[in-house]
Structure 1
C-alpha cells in the first residue's frame, strides 16, 4: 500500500503533531476512504467534521497536499453518529463530498440518509459489529472478515448484500462455504484517513480517554489507517507536555497518530445531549436514584411481560426505545441487581442512559472497546436480548432497518439478535396511535392502531426467523395484547391478554394467520394490575425441579414449597407432574414431608390444590407430615385438606414434622 504523501512532512515537523482542524482536513485527498469513530455523539470528532464541511464548501484552497477541496470520499463508520438533525455525519452530507457510504446505522444522519434514498451516492448497510471487526482485520492486513453474522438477512448476498439503492452495484459481501457451513465474507479495503477522538493528547500523538464515556473502536481505526499507509487525525480537548501522560492510561500510542486537533469546548461534548457528566466517564460513582415508575400503559404492559423472561445472573442487552421500559420495570421490581445489563458500544453493567445519551452508562462494572463487545455478543455471550419490534411476517422475520423511503439501518441489531441465547422482540401490536384501558385485570382496546405490524412479508429482513429456527434459537414476540413464539412453521400464538378476543383483536388485524393452539394461555394476571408483581421472589426462588428430593436411606420424600407462589392451575399441575416424575418409577409408596413455610396460594385455587394433593396421597404416599410457621396458612390449608378427607394437622416446625414421620413409620 502506498503511503500518504504528507507523512514524511508531518513526521519531521518541529512543532509536533498539534495542528488546527483546518490544517488537518486539508490533508484529505480526493477519493480517500475515511473512517470515523463514534456512537451517537459519544466519541465523535465534531470539530474535525465541521472543518471538513467548511473546506468543501470553500471555493478555493491552497492546501499543499491536495488538488482542490476533497471530494468523492468513501465514508466508513460502524455505529450511528449524529443527533438526528445537523450534527455528526450530517456534516458529510453534501453532493460530491462523498460518493460511497458504508455504514452500520443511518437513522441519526437524515441528511446523509437522503443522499442514499435519492440515489446520489452508493450506499451500504452492514452490521455494526462486522464493521468494527473489519477495522481490526484491515489493521492486520487480512483479505477479508469471515463471519456467520448476516446470514439470512438483507446483508446476505442472496438478499441484496447490504446494498441500499440502485446506484450501488459492487459486491462487498460474498457467500462462501467453510467445512460445509455457509459463511459470509466481508471484503477489507485500505483506510486512508482515520478520524478519532480522545480527551488528552501530547505533541507526540499519545492519547488518553479519561473523560470519554466510551473508548469505542478508536484504536482499531487508528491501526487500520496507519497500517494502510494513511493518516490518523485525533480530536482532543487538551494537550499535555510530552512525557507527562501515564503510559498505562494511553489508549492510542503516538506512533499511530499523525495530527492532534484541539477542539473548541462546544464541539467536544461528552455526548450530544450532555456536555459533561463525570459518572458517564466512571470518574465518580453516583447514588442511582430510582427510575420513575412507568404509568400503566401499553408500554408498561409490554415491558412487564418481557421482564418475565429475565433470569437471575444473566447477561442482557436492552435495545433503544421500547426495550428501555424493561429497565424501568426491573428497577420497580427491585431485580436490576440480579442481572447484568450491557450495551453494544462496550458497556458492562451499570445503568444505561437513554435518548440522545444512549450508549453511556453510570456505575458500570467495565467499559471495553466496541470490537471486543461484539466478540462477546457474536460468540453467544448474551443470555438474552430485548429488541424492538417494528414489522413481523408469518415466518418470524423481523424488519427494523428499512420502511419505504425511510432508511434506519440495522446498527448492532443483526449481531445481537442472531447470537443471543434467547431473543425477545417487544412492541405494540400495531403501528400508530393506540389507546387502551386496564380495568379489573382485563385489557380493552379503546382506539385501535392504524397500521398493521404483522404483515405477509417484511420489506427488509433484519432478523431471519428460518435461520433462528435452524439453529434452535428461542424467540418471543411480545405485544400488549398477546405473545407469539417462533416455531418450525413460523409464528405461533401462545398467550393472550385477559379481555382480548382472539379473532377480533388479533387475527382480524394480521395479514396472515399464525398457528393458534386450541386454548392459548392467558398472560399473567399481575401484568394488568397496579402495584409491583413481586418478580424478585420469582427470580430468586428455587427452581421447581429442585424442590423434590427422595432420600433412599431414610425412605423419605422431601417436598420444599417454601416461598413457592401458586398463581394458576398450571402451577398446580406442575407440582403434580414433578412429584409423579420422581415417585412413579419407584413402584411403591413413600412417606412425604412437606415444607409450606411462606407458601402462598389464592383462596380460589385452594380447592383445586387440595384435590391435587388428594390424588398424590392416594397414589404415592404412605403418609404425610406438613409444616409451616404461618398460623393463618395452617388453618386455611388444613381446612382445605380436611375437606378432601386428608389429615388436617400441619406442624409448626420441621423437627415436629420429622418426629411425626418417625412415629408414623417413616425412618
Structure 2
C-alpha cells in the first residue's frame, strides 16, 4: 500500500456518508482541527458526509467552537459516543432535540475500546460504570430519547460476579493528528504533548477495512525518523494531511506547542508559592490532610479545588513524596489546568492513555482529589449533567471506582457564596443561592453504595463541613470553627446526615495565615452544639 499525501479539503471529500469514525484528541491536544473544519465546510456546501457515527474517548474542543463543536449541524451526525461532552456546547441543543443518538461512556472504557476493536473483540468487559447512570439498570449511558433505540452496554455475569459489557465499534475512518510524517507515512508525535490512543485507533480502522487519515504539520524524508519514535507505522496510514499553514494550525488548537510539555530538562520556577487564604485554600488544605506521609501516587482532577490541593502540598513542602499522574498519560512534572489540562511541564514520562487507564483500573494510584458538584444522602456524586447542560463523565468514573482513597472537594453551596477567613474562623458573608447537598442527585456519576461495597475510603470536603461515606450514607465528621452546625450546615441540606458521635471542629491551622508546618490532621475540640431534631 502506498500512502497518499493530500490536503484537508481533499480528505473531507473522502469521508463517506454513514462512516463510523474513531476520533482522537484531548481538549486541544492532538486534535486534527483543520480536518474537522474541512468536513464541516463540505457538509455546509454539499450536505455530505451525513449520518456520521463518531466515537471519541476524551473531551475535544475549547468549550466554544473548536473540536467536536464543528460537528454541530443537523443531519451531519447519526450518533456520538463520547467520554466527555462539556467542551462541545454547540452539540447540546441537537442532543436535546434528538437530532442524533447521544451516549456518554467512561473515558477509560472508550480509550481501551479501540484496542478491542483492533483485535476484533465483540465486547469490552469492565466493572467501570456499575451503579452509575452508565449501568444498563439505570440508563445505559444514554443522553436522549434518540439513543433509546440501541443498547450499547449490557450486564453479564462472570464467575458469579456482575460486569458491564460494552459494545465495540468497527470504525472505517480514523481521524488523527501527529507531528511529522515521513515519505512512507510513518508518524511521530515529537511535538504533541500526548500520544493518547492514536496507535490503537489507527490499528482499529485498518483492521476493520477502513481508512486512516493523519494530520501533520510537516512531511520529512523517508529514513529520517528513529524507529522507536514512530508511534503509527506507515502501513497503517492511508492519507497524510499536511497542514497548509503551520502558524494558522497552531492557533486553531487550544493547546499550542510547548517544549516544556515534551521535555524533562526544565527547571521549575524557584519562586515561593503563596496561595491566598480564602475558602478555596481552606478546602484544599483540609483535603490535603488525607494524603499519607508515605510516598503516594496521586491524581488531581480538573477544576480549581483539586488543582489547589496540588499547590497547597507544594506550599507546605509536602509534595516531595508525591508522584502526580493525569489520565491522558503523564507521570510526574507539573500538571496543567484550564485549556492545557492533561499536559504537564517536564513530565517524567508519558504513556498512551489506554495504558494509564489500565493502571488506574487496577488500583495503581493511592489517592485522588476531584470536584464536588452535587452530593446526595447515599453518598452519590453528580458532576456530569445539570438540566440541559451535559458535562459528561470524562475519567471521573474510572478514577473514583478504582482508587483506594477518594477526596471530593468543593464549596457547600453555589451561586453568590462569599466567605471570609479571619481570626482562625470561617465567616459567611453572603450565603449561596443553590444547595449542592440534595436528596437525590440528578445523575449518578459516582455511586456511594458501590464504593462502600468495594471498601474504598471516601471523603467529601467543603469549606465548612467534612463528611465521610459510611454504610448508611454520609456521616458529618467535622465543621469549621465559626460555623453554626444547625444554621450554617444542616439548614442548607435537603437531608439530615448521620452526625458523628465524635463530631469535631476542623484543624485550626487551616484557617490561619502562614504555613501549617505539615499536612497531618489535628482536629479541634468536640462540637457541643445542640441541633434541632
Aligned partner of 1:211 in structure 2 is 191
Partner of residue 80, structure 1:
59
CA–CA distance in structure 1, aligned partners of residues 160 and 57 of structure 2:
30
Higher relative contact order, structure no. (Cα contacts within 8 Å, ≥ 6 residues apart): 2
What's the offset of the Cα at 1:521?
Answer: 1.2
Question: Alignment partner for residue 438 of structure 1, among 421, 428, 433?
Answer: 421
Q: How far did 1:245 drift?
A: 1.2
* CA positional deviation for 1:57: 1.3
Q: 2:234 aligns with which of 248, 254, 267?
A: 254
Structure 2 counterparts to residues 538-577 of structure 1, below 5 A: 538=520
Find out whether 1:129 has 2:108 as its counterpart. yes
Distance of 2:124 and 2:208 partners within structure 1:
16
After superposition, give the CA deviation of every residue in 1:115-139 in whole Å (9 maximum; x if it has no partner): 1122211100000000011100000
Within a 5 Å distance, the mapping from 1:290-329 to structure 2 comes to 290=271, 292-311=273-292, 312-321=294-303, 322-329=305-312
1:353-368 aligned at under 5 Å gives the runs: 353-368=336-351
1:458-497 to structure 2, matched below 5 A, reads 458-497=441-480
Q: Secondary structure at the match of 1:101?
A: strand
Tell whether the 8 Å contact from 2:31 to 2:253 is kept in structure 1 after alignment: no
Q: Secondary structure at the match of 1:160?
A: coil
Preserved CA contact (<8 Å) 2:505 2:525: no
SS of 2:155's equivalent in the other structure is strand
Distance 2:308 2:373 in 1: 16
Displacement after TM superposition at 1:517 (Å): 2.3
d(CA) in 2 for partners of 1:148, 1:339: 28
Q: Secondary structure at the match of 1:134?
A: helix
**1:505 to 1:442, Cα distance in 2 relative to 1, 3 A:** same
Partner of 1:512: 495
- My pick for the range that moved more, 467-476 or 431-440, is 431-440
Where 1:167 maps in the other structure, the secondary structure is: helix
Could you tell me whether the CA contact under 8 Å between 2:264 and 2:348 is conserved in 1? no
How far the C-alpha of 1:535 sits from its partner, in A, is 1.6
Query: What is the distance in 1 between the residues matched to 2:264 and 2:9?
Result: 32
Distance change >3 Å, CA 20–CA 366, structure 1 → 2: same
Measure how far apart 1:50 and its partner are: 1.1
Partner of 1:238: 218
Q: What TM-score do the two structures reach when normalised by structure 2?
A: 0.95
Asked whether 1:184 is paired with 2:184, we answer no
Which residue, out of 239, 242, 262, partners 1:281? 262
Q: Which of 173, 197, 203 lines up with 1:223 in the alignment?
A: 203
The corresponding residue for 1:397 is 380
CA distance 1:511–1:519, shift in 2 (3 Å): same
CA distance 1:294–1:114, shift in 2 (3 Å): farther
Does the 8 Å contact 1:42/1:271 carry over to 2?
Answer: no
Match of 1:53 among 40, 43, 50: 40
Separation in structure 2 between the aligned mates of residue 534 and residue 488 of structure 1, nearest angstrom: 34
Indicate the SS of the match to 1:323: helix
1:336-347 correspondence runs (5 A): 336-347=319-330
RMSD: 1.7
Aligned mates of 2:395, 2:428 — CA distance in 1:
34
Q: Aligned in 2, Cα 1:413/1:69: closer, same or farther, shift over 3 Å?
A: same
Change (3 A) 1:273 1:102: closer
Assess if the C-alpha contact under 8 Å between 1:213 and 1:270 holds in 2.
no
Q: Does 1:141 align with 2:120?
A: yes
Distance 1:280 1:270 in 2: 17
**1:197 aligned residue:** 177
- 1:119/1:567 CA distance change after superposition, 3 Å: closer
Any stretches of 5+ residues in structure 1 without a counterpart? 1-10, 60-67, 540-565, 571-667
Deviation at 1:17, TM superposition (A): 2.2
The corresponding residue for 1:407 is: 390
Which residue of structure 1 aligns with residue 531 of structure 2?
A: none
SS of equivalent residue, structure 2 residue 110: helix
Indicate the residue corresponding to 2:530 in structure 1: none
Deviation readout 1:450-471 (Å, 9 max, x if unpaired):
1100000001000000001111
Match of 1:158 among 137, 144, 154: 137
CA distance in 2 between counterparts of 1:271 and 1:295 reads 34
Q: How much does 1:267 deviate?
A: 5.0
CA distance in 1, matches of 2:56, 2:10: 23
Could you report, residue by residue, the CA deviation over 1:13-48 in whole angstroms, capped at 9, with x for unpaired residues? xxx421111112211111011111110000011111
CA distance in 2, matches of 1:408, 1:133: 21
- Aligned partners of 2:269 and 2:263: how far apart in 1? 13
Number of equivalent positions: 522
CA shift for structure 1 position 271: 9.1
Aligned partner of residue 516 in structure 1, secondary structure = strand
Is the contact between residue 176 and residue 185 of structure 1 (CA under 8 Å) also seen in structure 2?
yes
TM-score when normalising by structure 1: 0.76
Q: Which residue of 2 aligns with 1:591?
A: none
> 1-side partners of 2:327 and 2:500: how far apart?
37
CA distance in 1, matches of 2:362, 2:506: 33
Whichever structure has more strand as a proportion of its residues is 2
User: Per the alignment, in what secondary structure is the counterpart of residue 227 of structure 2?
Assistant: coil
> 2:508 matched to which residue of 1?
525
Instruction: Tell me: CA distance 1:460–1:511, structure 2 relative to 1, closer, same or farther (3 Å).
Output: same
1:39 alignment partner, one of 26, 29, 34: 26
How far 1:284 moved relative to its partner?
4.2
User: Is residue 320–residue 358 contact of structure 1 (8 Å, CA) maintained in 2?
Assistant: yes
Matched, 1:454 2:437: yes
SS for the counterpart of 1:100 is: strand
Q: Is the 8 A contact 1:41 1:270 kept in 2?
A: no
C-alpha distance in structure 1 between counterparts of 2:228 and 2:502, whole Å: 62
